[in-house]
A = this chain, B = another copy of it.
């Protein structure tokens, strides 16, 4: 009979782990460590129970579990032995280090948390909260059996119908529900499209400065990133054509360039579409916050003026409802639909069905337009509060212009100030002011801060403006 490993005597009688489980784990560890080698005989259950001062049943149950798992073998009355099937000396060799390179982590840009100026926060007023509650309750009250099972990888058809109707009316997007793919946020939509369109080394135009998550996604997809400068009319399309006419795709934010907020002019839009048509390129139009326009009318989407089917339109519910939903969508030219669906199925199958149902009802039952109207008023007021507070508190150190659209503003720093330093100082005081200069690729960076004004109370915005002013001095 094998000597009992000492550790077996080390049972913790006061702890929360049952004695049976402790005994089982310790015996297993002794077997795996080779303390009890293959073929070794285990103590008789009665003897072990006596030695440990536990009930015999406890020991029998632990042995049963080890027997069921193949660690030990034995016949009733003939004793229990460590299984001879187990290879010997498993624990001896050290593990070799990881061989292949692993991708490096990318910075997390939109941060969790409610600290002032954090971007991506949305307001959620009492009225929307009440409607949301009612719609959610109705969906869980009598769950549709289909909701409990696997769903449509493209997204539930009623939701796609509601999205297509909304986009047609509000954004002049021309599409049928068959072209819509509901995704887990815009980020997934962009990732799936890149996955389908790009081969390693393909050139891709990217606005400079650019949205960091898309820059990372392009790099991850193996794209050769072509930075295309941005001026007062948005992306300088001619520069892209000069640098890489053969590019496979262009990523643009036409309604409001990210991060600078410029609108892509109609002339540039036409140039971009002409390039796509002539070169067989694709245009990814990320229309992330066009719903919130405070002056003039919104420009129609690029997708809506594209007669050649080269534009992939990306939208999100993160801005118009809330990011925690994780719902976005892509409107695809028909030839891309099947490949994107195949990639989606591999990625994570289909959207979560309850969320789909609630958003469908919210749109289809007419709650969306009034919600957007209220939020627009709300956000415009927040914008004005922030502009006023920054102008008052920060004076000449910041150049602030009220944006005509969106949920954030860009505040340019006076000469001599570095945005990364100010951002770090602000973060130390609990204010999230994102530096713009790191979002540049090749163009000379502007030193500016990106300040989100939505989803923050006026008092918090004023306090944060004061705090920022202290950092600027």
A interface residues (Cβ-Cβ under 8 A, vs B): 25, 28, 32-33, 64-65, 68-71, 83, 85-87, 90-91, 93, 95-100, 102-106, 108, 110-114, 118, 120-122, 124, 129, 132-133, 136-137, 140-141, 143, 145-153, 172, 183-185, 187-188, 191, 196-199, 202, 213, 216-217, 220, 248, 265-267, 269-271, 273-274, 277-280, 296-297, 299-300, 305, 307-310, 322-327, 335-336, 338-339, 341-343, 345-355, 455
Contacts and interface: CB of A to CB of B under 8 A. Distances in A.
A49 B414 CA distance: 52
Nearest to A133: B140
A292 B69 CA distance: 17
A357 to B, nearest CB: 9
A326 B350 CA distance: 8
Contacts of A346: 106, 187, 191, 213, 216-217, 220
B148 A86 contact: no
Given A113-B146, A326-B351, 8 more contacts: A69-B297, A85-B265, A104-B339, A105-B339, A112-B146, A133-B137, A150-B324, A352-B355
Contacts of A274: 87, 90
Q: How many monomers of this protein are in the complex?
A: 2
B137 A149 contact: no
Contacts of A265: 70, 85
Contact of A307 (B32, B191, B338): B32
Contacts of A299: 68-70
B95 A280 contact: yes
Contact of A197 (B100, B273, B336): B100
Given A86-B266, A137-B133, A151-B324, A114 B32 contact: no
B68 A146 contact: no
A183 B33 CA distance: 34
Given A28-B305, A91-B307, A355-B352, A97 B324 contact: no
Contacts of A322: 148-149
Contacts of A202: 100
Given A70-B265, A87-B271, A187-B347, A148 B324 contact: yes
A329 to B, nearest CB: 13
Contacts of A266: 69-71, 83, 85-86
Contacts of A455: 148-149
Nearest to A84: B267
A277 B105 contact: no
21 contacts: A71-B266, A86-B267, A90-B274, A95-B308, A95-B310, A98-B280, A100-B197, A102-B196, A105-B345, A113-B149, A114-B149, A120-B150, A148-B323, A149-B322, A151-B323, A184-B352, A185-B348, A187-B349, A220-B346, A325-B353, A354-B355
